[in-house]
Amino acid sequence: MGETEKELYDVRKESSEINLLTEKTWQKDRSTDAIDRLKVKRRRLQSKGSRAEEEMRDLESRLERENSGNYRDRRRREGRGRDSVSSYHQGKTRDDSPTTPRPGV
């Protein structure tokens, strides 16, 4: 996820620089060709940023699913442990208890 975060940061930074450059170019010489090139570059950066944001959301949801799955698996294992102990105690009867006197002893 760190790579995606860095990519998103870089895209946002470069987009900001393009916006400033577009504004300066327009104020300086009002060159429509230069402005058009900058607008195309900005659109590409926006698309790249959107893809990076979507990837971040996907990674976060995958991490969340994995974490909830690990939690669920751990709870199941703990549950099995309790069940096996319970079944052990369920097999015992009062007659097997050492405090119950046995006939003929």
Q: Please check whether residue 41 is in contact with residue 18, taking contact to mean a CB–CB distance below 8 angstroms.
A: yes
Q: pLDDT by residue (tens digit) across 41-74?
A: 889 989 988 998 999 999 899 888 888 877 777 7
Q: Which residues, 6 or more positions from 28, have their beta carbon under 8 angstroms from its beta carbon? A: none
Q: Where are the domains of the chain?
A: 2-72
To the nearest whole number, what is the mean pLDDT of the chain?
77
Q: Above 90 in pLDDT, residue 25?
A: no
